[in-house]
Amino acid sequence: IISRIFDTYQKNPTALPPAIQQLIPEKGLETAICDYIAGMTDRFAIDEYQRLFDVTVLP
């Protein structure tokens, strides 16, 4: 999940929240993405994966 999220952000930085996009010139794309992902909880990472890839979760 994490690798796929990272790859998606790397290929499409506009998928990142605007606040993270603003950090890219200062930190660089990969570092900004890593910092953002590192701060994600497991639940948020799963929700973000579902948002990015339109995955339906079955109960």
What are the tens digits of pLDDT across the range 3-38?
Answer: 999 999 999 999 999 999 999 999 999 999 999 999
The model scores a pTM over 0.85: yes
3 state SS for the chain: CHHHHHHHHHHCHHHCCHHHHCCHHHHCHHHHHHHHHHCCCHHHHHHHHHHHHCCCCCC
pLDDT given for residue 54 in this prediction: 84
